[in-house]
Chains A and B, each alone.
Chain A
Amino acid sequence: MNDYNFAYLDEQTKRMIRRAILKGLAIPGYQVPFASREMPMPYGWGTGGVQISAATLTPEDTFKVIDQGADDTTNAVSIRQFFEKTAEVETTTTTSEATVIQTRHRIPEEPLTEDQILVYQVPIPEPLRFLEPRETETRKMHALEEYGLMHVKLYEDISQHGHIATSYAYPVRIEGRYVMDPSPIPKFDNPKMEMAAIQLFGAGREQRIYALPPYTSVVSLDFDDHPFDPSKAPHCCALCGAEDSYLDEVIVDDEGGRMFVCSDTDYCERRRAAGHRGAALAEDAA
């Protein structure tokens, strides 16, 4: 016997979250206010994503959680176990087997399908917040489509660094209307956001939900003479040799030794299982 309601939250809370999700899908990129609840984990650990997952999961779902691409970090493991206990869902680490994927700061390398839902954990949902701290003002700026300040910020990047130095949480424009924070995913992931899956964004502390229906137009802000560049580290994965995946830099000794490995652990394991070998493993074999 389970002592909690299905998926932990009470039904009234889930209805409130579900209504916010539907409004979010109807107005892509607009941040819908919602009455975020206390969850059995601290703010900053994915309470927004967890509340969306709780309102979205059915007992027939297969649930995957990644934390910066990895299935095996503390945060990912505990959220997975939380829903195993409270929502009786199957869990997996395999991207293609999951029907709902909760993510912190990455989009899986493997393209998602129409049968999948991607739930993002969002720390600061307001893309203009660091430029304008007042909620009343940013709300007005969204209402009036007044996004000049964001372009000034990107321009100042160029004048200081010679290029747009924003490398994560890179602002996007949705369907030519709302400027949206894609959550702190690397800008390498931005082009993947025009996908077949439904994308839901939850910010627990900031009490905002927003959403992207499939195939919604997502344009990374840029300038004609400084086009958007979804860059990544110029290396191959040391374990699986992938050239097209986003890489983490890992320090391996006290002498400045380092290696680059796929941040998407499932993608990397799958490639190694298929016989791909990167430089580090090739040396081991030798």
Chain B
Amino acid sequence: MSAVALEGGFVDAPRDAAFAFRALMEVMARPGRIEELAGATPPAPLSIAAGVLLLTLADHDTPIYLGGACDTEDVRRWISFHTGAPMSGPSHAAFAVGNWDDLQPIDAFPIGTPDYPDRSTTLIVEVPELEASGAKLSGPGIRDQAFLSLPDPETLAKNNARFPLGLDFYFACGARVAALPRSTRIEACM
């Protein structure tokens, strides 16, 4: 096994994961907020934020789908060594990682069932830029309104329209992360 797969994990897993989870919870609870993650250095092209997120939340119970450019031998080995998570196709994935285009069509991922809307995929989207501007967000977690640069506001608004079913999104850009739960209402405006 290459050294790339073995390196770059949490140094102190319980504490690193605790801090990372708090940041991940903050962004999921307050859509539009951007936080920084630290503690892991995954192999390229995986961003630090996506790597830390997987180390914090993924394990043998969560099949992972790697989309397009992210699906490299190094990334697969790194994820399976550090988390034990199996790889899967879109239809069984608990987490999916990739660029927005590589994760299309997002209809391929499970959105939960009316009885169990939680049985859905969380998409970790690698984005080239992540700014608190662009699409206007409102809904749970947002007092008045928030703004976030989204890859495809129209598709994401359709995802919201299916609430309580739907996909949840993390956007990773370098070490920075933001989230868009299915509950957030989206208006594309510049």
Residues on A close to B: CB < 8 A?
A: 5-7, 11-12, 14-16, 18-28, 30, 32-33, 55-59, 139-140, 143-144, 175, 177-178, 196, 198, 211-217
Which of B62, B117, B163, B181 is close to A25, meaning CB atoms less than 8 Å apart? B181
11 sampled A-B residue pairs with Cβ under 8 A: A5-B14, A14-B14, A15-B58, A18-B24, A19-B94, A22-B24, A24-B118, A58-B22, A212-B140, A213-B30, A213-B183
CB distance from A133 to the nearest CB of B (A): 17
Q: How far is the CA of A7 from the CA of B22 in the complex (A)?
A: 14
B25 within 8 Å of A by Cβ? Answer: yes
Chain B positions within 8 Å of A18 at CB level: 21, 24-25, 56-57
Chain B contact-residue range equals 35 or more
Q: Looking at A20, A30, A140, which has the most chain B CB atoms within 10 Å of its CB?
A: A30
Chain A positions within 8 Å of B143 at CB level: 196, 214-215
Contact status A27-B115, CB under 8 Å: no
Contact status A140-B115, CB under 8 Å: yes
CB distance from A135 to the nearest CB of B (A): 10
In chain A, what residue has the closest Cβ to B169? A26
Chain B positions within 8 Å of A20 at CB level: 118
- CB within 8 Å for A59 and B18 given contacts A28-B183, A175-B183: yes
Contact status B57-A15, CB under 8 Å: yes
Q: How far is the CA of A140 from the CA of B13 in the complex (A)?
A: 39
Contact status B21-A55, CB under 8 Å: yes
Q: How far is the CA of A18 from the CA of B19 in the complex (A)?
A: 12
Chain A positions within 8 Å of B25 at CB level: 18, 21-22, 25, 56, 198
Q: Which 3 A-B pairs have the closest CB atoms?
A: A213-B141, A6-B14, A26-B181
In chain B, what residue has the closest Cβ to A16? B61
Contact status A30-B30, CB under 8 Å: no
B28-43: which have CB < 8 Å to A?
A: 28-30
Chain B positions within 8 Å of A11 at CB level: 13-14, 17
* Proximity bits, B104-119, A CB within 8 Å = 1, else 0: 0000000000111110
